[in-house]
Amino acid sequence: MNCQGLIREISAYLDGELTPELLGDIERHLERCKDCRLIVDTTRKTIEIYYNTQPLALPNDVRERLHQALIKRLGRRPNA
C-alpha cells in the first residue's frame, strides 16, 4: 500500500466497505504516513459536514472530484 493506493480506497475505507486485508494495509500505511492520516482525517470531516447538511449520501460526482483533487495533490510530492 502506498499513498496513491490509499487514496483510491479512501471512500471505501471511510464507508467501512473494505475487505479485512485492505483495511489492514491501509491501517499499516496510516501508522507510518502522516500525510495520509491528515488526508483521511480531512476527508472524514468533509464527509461528516456534508452528511450534516445534506440528508442524501455523498453523490458520486462529489466523491470523484474529491479523489481527483487528492490524487493531484499527492502526485506533486509522492512519498512512501
- Residues near Zn ion (CB under 5 A) are 3, 33, 36, 80
Least Å from the CB of residue 12 to Zn ion: 16
| Contact partners, residue 40, CB within 8 Å, separation at least 6 | 6, 10, 13, 14, 30
> Which one, 28 or 51, has the nearer CB to Zn ion?
28
Angle between helix axes 3-15 and 20-32 (nearest 10 degrees) is 120
> Which one, 52 or 76, has the nearer CB to Zn ion?
76
The three cell numbers locating residue 55: 440528508
Least Å from the CB of residue 56 to Zn ion: 30
